[in-house]
Amino acid sequence: MREAELKKISYELSRSLRCMLDLLFPPVCGGCGKVGFHWCADCQKRVQILNGTVCEVCGLPQDVNGICDACILDRPHFRALRAWAVYEGPVKRALHNLKYYRNFSMGEALAAHMTDFAKGLNWPLDLVIPIPLGRQRMKERGYNQAGMIAEPLAMALDIEFAPKALMRCKETRSQVGLSKQERQKNVCEAFQAAGVSGKTILVLDDVSTTGSTLSSSAEALLSAGAKDVYALTAARALPHHGLKQV
């Protein structure tokens, strides 16, 4: 039996176990705290999907089709970055609960709602790879929140999930509060990749702001022989949120 098939069986078994546990311990909505739901209908309705006109490369909303000025001047290493939703309201709270409060069910719930969006991009993908954590952060947290979204999404898309193909070879500080230039410097040469030669990769993270982390990971994947790299995140923090983008 192939390794990919074994991974799928293992994932389905763990999913079945989580469903049984839900019967004993009713879930709580990651977006609003309502009991009995992982992701309630009210929170789903309040999600602001990023499906309007965006830059063809970085995915930031803009008024016209094409590539934004920032990407023309300093093009990222990925072919295209897209985000499912705006990083606010219930999506922001859900990702916060996944990242800091071990609400693992949110990974699967968000992936389920991202699936149609990802399919609609029509990207020719071979592998799905989550952005890895550094060793220290992984030791502290015990899990990778990006992987909790990436694995069920890969299963839904029927694409191989390859979390070990990319590793973080340099400990980096948090990107929160840094400018775009500071973010780029922080993650410069932070990743190494292997086993991706000739493959078209989808690299996935929970939230993107400037895309610096995703661009750095794409650079490592391309250096390791990847054919092409696309990037996807559950949410996008936009400039009007007051975050440093310049």
CA-to-CA separations, 159 to 7, 62, 140, 163, 200, in angstroms, rounded? 12, 31, 30, 12, 11
231 occurs within a structural domain: yes
Residue 99 lies in a domain: yes
Q: Give the pLDDT confidence score for residue 177 in this predicted structure.
A: 63
Angle, CA of 197, 183 and 62, to the nearest 5°: 85
- CB contact burial 8-30 (16+ within 10 A = b; e otherwise): beebeeeeeeeeeeeeeeebbbb
State how many domains the chain has: 1
Give, in order, the Cα–Cα distances in Å from 184 to each of 14, 71, 77, 132, 181. 37, 14, 12, 17, 5
Give the pLDDT of residue 109: 92
pLDDT (0 to 100) of residue 207:
96
| Residue 110 pLDDT | 95
CA 210 to chain centre: 14
- Boundaries of domain holding 198: 3-241
Asked, for residue 117, whether it belongs to a domain, the answer is: yes
Q: Which of 2, 3, 12 is nearest to 155 (CA)?
A: 12
- Classify residue 196: in a domain, yes or no: yes
* Residue 112: predicted pLDDT: 92
pTM of the model: 0.86
CATH number for the domain including 158? 3.40.50
Q: What is the pLDDT of residue 24?
A: 61
- Is the sign of the CA dihedral 21, 22, 26, 31 positive or negative? positive
* Look-up of token digits 């078994």: 13
Report if residue 66 sits inside a domain. yes
In a domain, 136, yes or no: yes
Tell me whether residue 246 is in a domain.
Answer: no
Question: Is 37 inside a domain boundary?
Answer: yes
pLDDT in tens, the chain (246 residues): 566 666 666 656 666 655 665 556 678 899 999 998 888 999 999 999 998 999 999 999 999 999 999 999 999 999 999 999 999 999 999 999 999 998 888 999 999 999 999 999 999 999 999 999 988 889 899 999 999 999 999 999 999 999 999 999 876 656 666 666 766 666 667 799 999 999 999 999 999 999 999 999 999 999 999 999 999 999 999 975 444 443
Q: Is 169 exposed, middle or buried (0-12, 13-18, 19+ CB in 10 A)?
A: middle
